[in-house]
Amino acid sequence: WTGDTMELRLSACILLVLCATWSANGGNILVWYTEGSHWINMKPVLETLVDRGHQVTVLVPSSSLYMNANEPSRFRYEPFNVSFSKDAMQDFLEEFLRFSMYEIDYMSYWEIYIRFSEIIKTQMQFSIQYLDGVVKSEVVMKKLKEGNYDLLLADPIYRGSDLVADILGIPLVFSLRFSVAYNWERHCGQMPAPPSFVPGAMSKLTDKMDFSERVWNFLYYALQDIAMSHIFGKVDRYYSDVKGTPTSACELMSKADIWLIRTYWDFEFPRPFLPNFKYVGGIHCRPAKPLPEDLEEFVQSSGDDGIVIFTLGSMIKNVTKEKANMIASGLAQIPQKVLWRYRGEKPATLGANTRIYDWIPQNDLLGHPKTRAFITHGGTNGIYEAIYHGVPMVGIPMFGDQPDNMVHMKAKGAAVILNLNFITTEDLRDTINTVINDKSYKENAMRLSSIHHDRPMSALEEAVFWIEFTLRNKGAKHLRVQAHELTWYQYHSLDVLGFFLTIVLLLIFIFIKTCSFCLHRCCVRKGKTKKKAE
């Protein structure tokens, strides 16, 4: 035996001991791949889990636009290959942005329907290719099986985590903003959503609906149910194929132990939910840090007028020249200083009060005492930072959950909504002035902020608690309602109603029969007496 092998054995032993003691304290958590704002939201949870002694392993597709498996990180990365390139993904996103930002407002319902169906179809193809990269790759599946994971954490928007959790036989925790019309929450999670007072997600309705709105909301749920069964047929077939038995995606989704919903009652309209649904909106929010010196100097130069922060989110880097000029000249006419996150060409009409930045420390700026308003595309992450710091908003929503998000903020009196395709310079200027000068917007934003902060533990702590809870208890199936086991007619008690209806009908039948019998006898007797009298 050489000294080298001795050493190797020794260090292997030490490693083994370390691993054994470590796994006694921490869990081994597998995280499904996510992108963009979903990843921004997931990251603080993962970092806290690492701080608390858990091992976190994140699946990263080769086409990821946001994650780099080769980057040094506090997480372990498990790369997998997908059959399309980063460019293909980027092209798809750009086309989607063009459609949602500039074209949709000028299209007929029919054209929108056709385009949207195409987009959903392409997205479904991507989803299947991602799934292929994991489930159909022997290398990856072998690694996952040998990884001895205790739990899978996933945003179900990125399909397939339920299938992999099922194959690995480990608990599943979802982190979800919402599904369209709450399809998954309702059908796969069994969360109740009466259409009379729970507006379907993305319907742009509030909880105060008049008759016609309730008609629309009812139809919206029904139409989305039909659309879902069409779209997900493909996933069902895929799952069935992999598992070798008829399996629906909804059935596997329904096995999720905990659903972490990324909103809270500062944002949501009150609604019924289930014990395994936890509302953890604002996970990524934190107190503001001091600004870099040059930024602080600019902010301070605004004096009593204060500053306005303008961003259209991480996905929208520029707008058309014409729109940029319209926006810039609107911003030039307000007394505040403006920090605009924008990567396009510098607009000719840019005012002296406006500065353009590639990137801004958004949370730190929103938490700055000089901040008067936030002009936003209405992404959930940005809205939550504004709620956290109590900043009123001007919303220019574009796509996805953004229009619906802004409707919530408007209904709560903390925002005004504008449409980028139809506003003028004057509209923009007047709206910003209104949101800043009409004190009700600031008051409502502060009220939402105090609701946001007034809870037993922070959103991040709560999310981490429920993940650790699931680890400690090896699942959370005791929170799962029996509704999952019922058929649709049992769920709505239609069988019971049918039973009662049968009894009532039977009683009515007996009553009528008895009456007619009595009547008949009476008549017959009367007839007889009559005859006798004659």
422 φ, ψ (degrees, to nearest 5): -120, 0
Q: Listing from the earlier edge strand, what are the strands of the sheet with 76-80?
A: 76-80, 55-61, 28-31, 151-154, 172-176, 258-261, 277-279
Q: How far is the CB of 222 from ligand NAG (least distance, A)?
A: 37
The helix-helix angle for 109-135 and 138-146 (nearest 10°) equals: 70
Minimum CB separation of residue 82 from ligand NAG in Å reads 9
CB of 204 to ligand NAG, least distance (A): 25
Task: Choose between 356 and 393: whose C-beta lies nearer to ligand NAG.
Answer: 356
Residue 219, Cα to own-chain centre: how many angstroms?
A: 22
Alpha-carbon gap, residue 262 to 175, rounded angstroms: 7
What's the gap between Cα 185 and its chain centre? 11
- Residue whose CB is less far from ligand NAG, 52 or 321: 321
Residues 374 and 432: their CA atoms lie apart, in Å, by: 9
Residue 21 vs 81, nearer CB to ligand NAG = 81
| Nearest partner of 281 among 385, 430, 204, judged by Cα | 385
**Tokens encoding 178:** 């919402």
195 vs 347 by CB, closer to ligand NAG: 347
Q: Which of 140, 327 has the CB closer to ligand NAG?
A: 140
**Lookup: tokens for 448:** 């939402």
Strand partners, 308: 338, 373
- Shortest Å, Cβ 465 to ligand NAG: 33
Q: How far is the CB of 131 from ligand NAG (least distance, A)?
A: 14
| CB nearer ligand NAG, residue 79 or residue 192 | 79
Q: Which residue has the tokens 């039977």?
A: 506
Provide the 10 A C-beta neighbour count for residue 385. 25
CB of 94 to ligand NAG, least distance (A): 8
Instruction: Pick between residue 80 and residue 277 the one whose CB is nearest to ligand NAG.
Output: 80
Helices marked H in 26-106: 36-51, 86-98
From the list 85, 93, 84, the residue with the least C-alpha distance to 35 is 93
For residue 533, how many C-alpha atoms fall within 13 Å in the half-sphere facing its CB? 6
Of 315 and 332, nearer to ligand NAG (C-beta) is: 315
Query: How many CB atoms are located within 10 Å of the residue 136 CB?
Result: 14
Measured from the CB atom, is 94 or 495 closer to ligand NAG? Answer: 94
Nearest-CA neighbor of 101 among 419, 398, 448, 461?
Answer: 398
Secondary structure of 230-289 in HEC code, one letter for each residue: HHHHHHHHHHHHHHCCCCCHHHHHCCCCEEEECCCCCCCCCCCCCCCEEECCCCCCCCCC
- Residue with token string 């903003």: 177
Which spans of this chain sit near ligand NAG (rule: CB under 6 A)?
Answer: 79-81, 137, 139-140, 318-320, 344
Minimum Å gap between C-beta 34 and ligand NAG is 18
Q: Which is nearer to ligand NAG, 81 or 437 (CB)?
A: 81
Closer CB to ligand NAG, residue 32 or residue 220?
A: 32
Q: How far is the CB of 80 from ligand NAG (least distance, A)?
A: 5
The rounded distance, in Å, linking the Cα atoms of 47 and 201 is 30
Cβ of residue 324: shortest distance to ligand NAG, in angstroms? Answer: 8
Residue 476's nearest CA partner among 167, 177, 256, 174 is: 256
Minimum distance, C-beta of residue 23 to ligand NAG, in the bound complex (Å): 24
Are 369 and 431 a contacting pair, CB within 8 Å?
no
CB of 304 to ligand NAG, least distance (A): 36
Residue 203 Cβ vs ligand NAG, minimum distance, rounded to whole Å: 29
Residue with Cβ nearer ligand NAG (347 or 475): 347
